[in-house]
Amino acid sequence: MSVIAFYILTVLCIFSALMVVFSKKPVHSVLYTIFCFFNIAGHFLLLNAQFLAIVHIIVYAGAIMVLFLFTIMFLNLNAEVEPHKSNLLKVAAVVCGGLLLLILVSCLKGAENIPVNPMLDTQMGMVKNLGMVLYNEYMLPFEMLSILFLSAMVGAVLLGKKETK
Amino acid sequence: MDSLIVLLIPLLPLIGFIISGTLNKQANHTLINGLTCGSVFVSFLLSVILFYQLQSGSAPISYKLLNWIYVGALKLDLSFTVDALSSIMLLIITGIGFLIHVYSTGYMHDEPDYARFFSYLNLFVFFMLLLVMGNNFVVMFVGWEGVGLCSYLLIGFWFKNNAYNDAAKKAFVMNRIGDLGFLIGMFLILNKFGSLNYQTVFDLASHAATNDPTITVICICLFIGALGKSAQIPLYTWLPDAMAGPTPVSALIHAATMVTAGIYMIVRTNVLYTLSPDAGFLVAVMGVATALFAATIGLKQNDIKKVLAYSTVSQLGYMFAALGVGAYETGMFHVITHAFFKALLFLCAGSVIHAMSGEQDIRSMGGLRKKLPITHITFFIGTLAISGFPPFSGFFSKDEILAKVHEYNGGFMLFTILAITSVITAFYMFRLYWLTFWGNFRGNSHQASHLHESPKSITIPLILLAVFAASAGLIGLPHLFHAPHLLNNFLAPVIINAPTLEASASFEIALIVVSLIVLALVTYITYQIYVAKARIPVADADEKGISKWVANKYYIDELYNALITQPLQAVSTFANNYIEKYVIDGTVNSFRWLTNTGSLLIRQIQTGSIGLYIFGIVIGIICMFVFKFYLA
Amino acid sequence: MLAEIFSFKKILPVLVFFGLATALYFNFNDWSTYHSYFYNMTTIDNFSIVFSSLLIGAVIMWLLMAGSYYRDENKITDHLAIICFALVGGILMTSYTNLMMLFVGIETISISMYVLAASDKVSLRSNEAGLKYFLMGAFATGLLLFGIALIYGCTASFDLGVIAGYVSAGNLPQMFYVGLILILSGMFFKAGVIPFHWWTPDVYQGAPTAITAFMATVVKAAAFASFFRLFQMSFAGVAGWWIEILIIVSAVTMIFGNLMAVSQTSLKRLFAYSSIAHAGYMLMAIIACNDMGARSLILYAYAYSAASIGAFAFLIILINQLQTDHQDALKGLAYSNPLLAIFLAVILISLAGIPPTAGFFAKYYLFTTLISQGYVGLVIIAVLSSLIGVYFYLRPIIFMFQHSNVETKLKISQSSLAFFALVTLIIVILGFMPQLIIEII
Amino acid sequence: MNIISEVGINSYLWLAAILFSIGVMGVLFRRNAIIILMCIELMLNAVNILFVAFSVMHNNPAGQIMVFFIMAVAAAEVAVGLAILILMYRNMGSVDIDTMKKLKW
């Protein structure tokens, strides 16, 4: 059952990812991205990472992609005016991407030899469990993350403000 | 506390240099005097303290300023050590240095660049102190180069005169030739012993075999360095020319201190020289040759400072002769006495020149003893001392050198030449003395009306130096008197393994008696020639035969000019016109062309397009993968 | 770590200045203590202290310098806040012992830099620089993360010590090496070496000059500190494997970086290419991968940061007053502003690596380190390429001494002159006493 | 029941590699800066999947924490990136990366 679910999600995921790249209208790209992210959230669920699945949908689909959508609407970019690259470059891009994939895959083989920890803890991906880890061991990076956010916030405001000149 | 003193000694003159150098023309004389003379004087007092500590048996005192050069296995500290040898040098440098500073306040009084002069003097004292206080060869080398620099600056102090500038350049170049030897020697030491620290090197060397060829080469290289700095054959020609500088400079740098740096270096490395009798013999031969050679030139010089300059070269030859035979303490002994009487003679000469309104030719002097009584007396004492009249200081040191050389295995020939040189020395010194202070005044009326004794700031240093020049010999009485040889005892910890050379008492007595008789004879003869018969030296152009040869300093300068300078000029002209233009410029230009073109081509890849940039990155990654996974 | 105490109280440069000074003090308080904090997230050792002192010191210098740049602008508060955040990121990058911390640190400093690069809002060049930096930076983050993921997949930990243990156990799966290459790519990008350098010249040129100065000093030093730390602490066990890549990249970077700089006429872009070339030299320290390497990297970072902050401070003045950074603008400077010209000459000489400046000893020490490990060929390439460097570093000096009909005359305040004097002093002191830095760890 | 042991870690590696490569290809393929940014998000998500898979495989929560961090950072990055984009659009009237060639050589 879950194997089938895995393959369905995977196919959908790859398909939507490809559509992100190849669809002509930016809005379509965004929508495909959101769809892709839902699939990925599905993968997370399959992997028993329930908390992350929810967060993924909230953050990515709910926040990030809405931001994208907002920007596109705001800038009124939805026309198919985007001039495309020359065919040569497009072919080169596909070749490059394919080459990278081939290399990655051929180099990654043999990973199945890594021992799988048999002690599967289905509760690991739950909020309670992750929360304990996050606020104990990973307290410091978490706090630092707040500085990162502060920086991003100040930066976004700084850039967004109208120049008074 | 002691180590702090060690640091302060070189630091004070440096501070003096910095302040007076920055103030330059804004400062009044009083401030400069207080600063520069004061700093050297305090250094002197501190040196005296250290000297007494060392004399009462204290171990050498060190101060480590910082870890200086730590590269690989080479570990060098910037640190100072004061042992018996450096302490004596300290006393000479700061003591005589202080007197000459005081003297200069009078001598340079009307000089517009007063502050610049004193800042250079202080800088010189600083570097000289660095030279003698360092505890490794590199610090010594820094000081060595530093004093060379100061010497250059001070010879060319009146830089508006081109001849003086040429003299400064000559001194610099000659010294550089020697420095090359020193540097090579240093590298060889590093290679052989793996360190440049005195203590380490000497400890290792004391286990080395005698006549080790590497050590001989090291010694010869170091000796070449000493030849340049201490003006020995064949690198001596710069020293007479260096008299272009102000007279206090000649006294301080070119008589009392800097030129003895070569001696100091060899005494410092006595362990190595003891291991290499061959190099020692070379040193002795060169020293004796220089002594005789320079003395004969001195016979025919008519410039008061040039006579003294050649006598300095000659006396330095004596010191090298002593070092060469392994009598290091004796060499130092002569350094000390020579510092006193030669500084005295130069300062007297300065006083005379001052009185004569800048005239330096002894043919235009004469009869000055009445007008310049103090200068006259002190100069006379200096003359007696350098000629070796007992009981003046020069007698003891020179006598000891002669005795030691005589005892040296196979040194009879050297001894004979040195003895003859000693007679010649007395001859030209008395010639100088009689011509300057006796007879009738031969200058023009303008000079005659200006004749006057110098001010106190000049005469007091003269008197002090005269006292020392007369009495300094007492620190090294011959065995004959059964008194302890103070200097030898003091230096004993520094001189390791040197052979002992002791002359018999009968020989010493004979030496004293003979030298007394000969000196009296010389005095009488010169008096007859230059005072009684008033034979004034003829003009240079009228000299004939050998005499002309000698008066022209054996044409050594011309020889160098013809043998070295002109071929070099020719080669460099050729190189400049052809090799430089076509070969070097051509090559360099083609490289430049290649670089520029390559640059123009390569910068094209920076297209400004993000797309292409990311392509670049991805291709870079793919290349890395291919390189590591498919090619390896 | 300690930086978080002060990073919130910004508002006024003065306050920040004292905050930084305090941080520096606390920093040295931990001298020679070896502590790890927060479940081994960061470790304060001497290496990290020296580097974070460099970062803090550079920011202090930057503050002194930027005073003149921001004089008539009111956005200094925003900028200062972001600079402080970036500094926190930088300090994380020098003291992390956990890949997660490395990631957060890199991102903090990068995001701050994206903003600052684009912060001159009316300038198209600044916008372009910001966007270029951002897009490529985000892309590189992706690479880095993929690498970290693969390493994590092998070792099940982000801790550098655990990874090092895994490495030393041997028999590594291929996945590990793939991860290593991807992490290398990410680090190469942050360090700005060829062929990951593309953003450097464009961003350096387009960003506001004060920000470029920050990037060339703090960001660069932090990137190399983290690079070195990661590869020494975790991957030293497989050094034989990755060193080949580093050698090639380092050689290519030195040659091409210097070569591309030769034909630049814009001084700002010249310094950008020179920063690429210097990155190539600093990579050599990572190749050495031992204590000697750490020392030479530290010395090099200090020397390079001091010189480049001086160079950029000069550019700020030049651009503010003449609206150009073309090298022709230097003509006649030696006659109209002799003192400034001397300071600039010392800075350039140090960058070129001519004695007796800090740059020379940094290079010298680096080269001897490499030679002692047997990388003679690489050192020969480095020396040859630095000869090319001499060519273009000395050219501005020649320009300064040329007469031209339009004599450049810059108005320099006493305080900026004092700043240059300070920079020059640091360069010369490090030149004469490099062991002040070398022996510190 | 463990999904990893059923489909094998290799499948996840494949999936991540494919998604990552599609992301890279997209970055190279398009000229619209917004879409490039989305492709970068795709790359990050490939990494996310990998982290979670490894986390489960090793039964180690750190990987999931990392994913959490990556999401947060991605959000911050996007916020800043879009701000820069808007700024640029205001000045140039376009988000085409190939129109930005002021800085070159």
Q: What is the dihedral of CA B106, B107, B111, B114, to 10 degrees?
A: -60
Q: Whole-angstrom Cα distance, residue C176 to residue B573?
A: 65
**What pTM did the predictor assign?**
0.67
Q: Whole-angstrom Cα distance, residue B108 to residue A82?
A: 86
Q: Does residue C200 form part of some domain?
A: no
pLDDT per position in chain C (441 positions), as tens?
Answer: 444 444 443 445 555 666 666 666 666 666 656 666 666 777 777 788 788 888 888 888 888 887 666 665 566 777 888 888 898 888 888 888 889 989 999 999 999 999 999 888 888 888 889 999 999 999 999 999 999 999 998 888 899 989 999 998 877 888 888 899 999 999 999 999 988 988 999 999 989 888 999 999 999 999 999 999 999 888 988 888 899 899 999 999 999 889 888 888 888 999 999 999 999 999 999 998 888 888 889 989 999 999 999 999 998 888 888 888 888 888 888 888 888 888 888 999 999 888 778 888 888 888 888 888 888 889 999 988 888 888 888 888 888 887 776 666 777 888 888 888 889 988 888 887 777 777 666
Cβ contact, residue pair C127, D27, below 8 Å? no
Q: Does residue C43 form part of some domain?
A: no
Predicted pLDDT of residue B557: 72
From the list A85, A99, A106, the residue facing B622 with the nearest CB is A99
Nearest Cα of chain C lies from the Cα of D94 at a distance, in angstroms, of 12
Q: Whole-angstrom Cα distance, residue C238 to residue C243?
A: 9
Predicted pLDDT of residue C3: 46
Contact list, B587 vs chain C (CB under 8 Å): none
Instruction: Tell me: pLDDT of A156 over 60.
Output: yes
Cβ contact, residue pair B625, A96, below 8 Å? no
Contact list, C264 vs chain B (CB under 8 Å): 603
pLDDT tens, B548-558?
666 666 677 77
Bridge partners for B69 per DSSP: B76
Cβ contact, residue pair C146, D87, below 8 Å? no
Q: Amino acid identity, residue A121?
A: D
pLDDT tens, B58-92?
778 777 777 766 666 677 777 888 888 888 888 88
* Other C-beta atoms lying within 10 Å of the C-beta of residue B66: 11
Taken in order B142, B148, B152, B154, the sign of the CA dihedral is positive
The CATH number covering residue D85 comes to 1.10.287.3510
Weakest-pLDDT range from B188-192, C198-202, C378-382, D80-84: B188-192
From the list D43, D60, D100, the residue facing C131 with the nearest CB is D100
Return the SS3 of D105.
coil
Cβ contact, residue pair A68, D11, below 8 Å? no
Q: Which of C38, C148, C150, C157 to mutate to test the interface with A (most CBs of A within 10 A)?
A: C38
How would you label A74-107 residue by residue, b for 16+ Cβ within 10 Å and e otherwise? ebebeeeebeebeeebeebbeebbebbbebbeeb
User: Contact, D47 vs C145, CB < 8 A?
Assistant: yes
Residue D80: pLDDT band with limits 50, 70, 90: very high
Q: Whole-angstrom Cα distance, residue B321 to residue B291?
A: 9
Nearest Cα of chain B lies from the Cα of C238 at a distance, in angstroms, of 13
pLDDT tens, D45-70?
999 999 999 888 888 888 999 999 99
Cα–Cα distances in angstroms (integers) from residue B20 to residues B29, B97, C6, C421, in the given order: 10, 17, 46, 21
Cβ contact, residue pair B606, C195, below 8 Å? no
Predicted pLDDT of residue A85: 65
Q: Whole-angstrom Cα distance, residue A96 to residue C345?
A: 46
Instruction: Tell me: pLDDT of A140 over 90.
Output: no
Contact list, A111 vs chain C (CB under 8 Å): 153, 173-175
Cβ contact, residue pair B609, D97, below 8 Å? yes
User: Contact, B230 vs B261, CB < 8 A?
Assistant: yes
Q: What is the DSSP string of B356-403?
A: TTT--BGGG---TTTT-HHHHHHHHHHHHHHHT-TTSHHHHHHHHHHH
Instruction: Tell me: pLDDT of B95 over 50.
Output: yes
Contact list, C134 vs chain A (CB under 8 Å): none
Q: Does residue C222 form part of some domain?
A: no
Predicted pLDDT of residue A119: 66
Domain limits for position D80: 3-102
Q: Does residue C136 form part of some domain?
A: no
Q: Does residue C1 form part of some domain?
A: no
Return the SS3 of B81.
strand
Contact list, C201 vs chain D (CB under 8 Å): 103
Domain count, chain D: 1
Q: Whole-angstrom Cα distance, residue B480 to residue B489?
A: 16
Q: Which chains touch B (3 or more CB pairs under 8 A)?
A: A, C, D
User: Could you tell me the maximum CA-CA distance found in chain C, to the nearest angstrom?
Assistant: 70
Question: In whole numbers, what is the pLDDT of chain B averaged over residues?
Answer: 82
Q: Whole-angstrom Cα distance, residue B414 to residue B288?
A: 6
Weakest-pLDDT range from B19-23, B564-568, C21-25: C21-25
Nearest CA in chain A to C99: A141
Nearest CA in chain B to A106: B629
The token pair at B123 is 């800088």
Q: Which chains touch C (3 or more CB pairs under 8 A)?
A: A, B, D
pLDDT tens, B498-530?
667 777 778 888 888 888 888 888 888 888 888
Alpha helices in B438-504 (DSSP H): 445-450, 456-471, 486-491
Over residues B272-298, mean pLDDT: 86
Complex prediction ipTM: 0.90
Cβ contact, residue pair D41, A149, below 8 Å? no
Spatial CA neighbour of A100 closest among B216, D22, B23: D22
The token pair at C353 is 């690596």
Q: Whole-angstrom Cα distance, residue B136 to residue B150?
A: 21
Q: Whole-angstrom Cα distance, residue C299 to residue C361?
A: 8
Nearest Cα of chain C lies from the Cα of B616 at a distance, in angstroms, of 7
Residue B304: pLDDT band with limits 50, 70, 90: confident
Nearest CA in chain A to B628: A107
Domain count, chain C: 1
Over residues B233-237, mean pLDDT: 79
Contact list, C201 vs chain B (CB under 8 Å): 606
Q: Does residue C109 form part of some domain?
A: no
